[in-house]
Amino acid sequence: MTLGTLPILYSFRRCPYAMRARMALAVSGLALELREVVLRDKPPELLAISPKATVPVLVTCDGEVLDESLDIMHWALAQNDPQNWHSDIDGDLISANDGPFKQALDRYKYPHRYGLPDGETFRGEALVHLQRLNQILLDKPYLGGGSVNLTDIAIFPFVRQFAETDRLWFEGQPLSGIKKWLDGLENSTLFETIMQRYPQWNTSSPQICFP
pLDDT band of 1, cuts 50, 70, 90: very low
* pTM score of the predicted model: 0.93
Max CA distance (Å), the chain: 52
Backbone angles phi, psi at 16, to 5 degrees: -65, -30
DSSP 114: G
Q: Look at residue 2 in the predicted model and tell me its pLDDT.
A: 43
CA distance linking residue 157 with residue 135, whole number of Å: 19
Residue 84 has pLDDT above 90, yes or no: yes
Q: Which residues have a Cβ under 8 Å from the Cβ of 77 and sit 6 or more positions away?
A: 24, 27, 28, 85, 86, 150
8-84+192-210 under CATH 3.40.50.300, yes or no: no
Which residue, 72, 69, 70, 101, is CA-closest to 7? 72
Which residue, 81, 47, 104, is CA-closest to 153? 81
CA distance linking residue 80 with residue 77, whole number of Å: 5
Cis peptide bond prior to 111, omega within 30° of 0: no
Residue spans in the chain of domains classed CATH 3.40.30.10: 8-84+192-210
Proportion of the chain above pLDDT 90, given as a percent: 88
Residue-wise pLDDT tens digits, 168-208: 999 999 999 999 999 999 999 999 999 999 999 998 989 99
Q: Residue 152 in contact with residue 144, Cβ under 8 Å?
A: yes
Q: Is 193 helix (H, G, I), strand (E, B) or coil?
A: helix
Residue spans in the chain of domains classed CATH 1.20.1050.10: 91-188
91-188: what CATH class?
Answer: mainly alpha
